[in-house]
Amino acid sequence: MNLDLRDLYQEVILDHNKRPRNFGVLEEADRTAEGYNPLCGDKLTLYLQFDGEVIRDVRFDGSGCAISKASASLMTESIKGKSRKEVEVLFERFQGMVTADSATSPNTDHLGKLSVFAGVREYPARVKCAVLAWHTLRSAFSLEPKVVTTE
CB of 79 to Zn ion, least distance (A): 20
Instruction: Determine the Cα–Cα distance for residues 64 and 85; give it in Å rounded to an integer.
Output: 28
Contact 94, 108 (CB under 8 A): no
With respect to Zn ion, which residue has the nearer C-beta, 40 or 100? 40
For residue 10, count CB atoms less than 10 angstroms from its CB and return exposed for 0-12, middle for 13-18, buried for 19 or more.
middle
Give the per-residue contact string, 95-134, with Zn ion (x = CB under 5 A; - = no): ----------------------------------x-----
With respect to Zn ion, which residue has the nearer C-beta, 44 or 55? 44
CB of 54 to Zn ion, least distance (A): 30
Supply the DSSP symbol for 23: B
With respect to Zn ion, which residue has the nearer C-beta, 64 or 106? 64
Instruction: Determine the Cα–Cα distance for residues 111 and 60; give it in Å rounded to an integer.
Output: 20
Binding of Zn ion by 91 (CB under 5 A): no
- Residues 45, 114, 88, 26: is their CA dihedral positive or negative? positive
CB of 58 to Zn ion, least distance (A): 20
Instruction: Determine the Cα–Cα distance for residues 98 and 144; give it in Å rounded to an integer.
Output: 27
With respect to Zn ion, which residue has the nearer C-beta, 41 or 81? 41
Site for Zn ion in 36-65 (CB under 5 A): 40, 42, 65
Residues at the site binding Zn ion, with contacts judged by CB under 5 A:
40, 42, 65, 68, 129
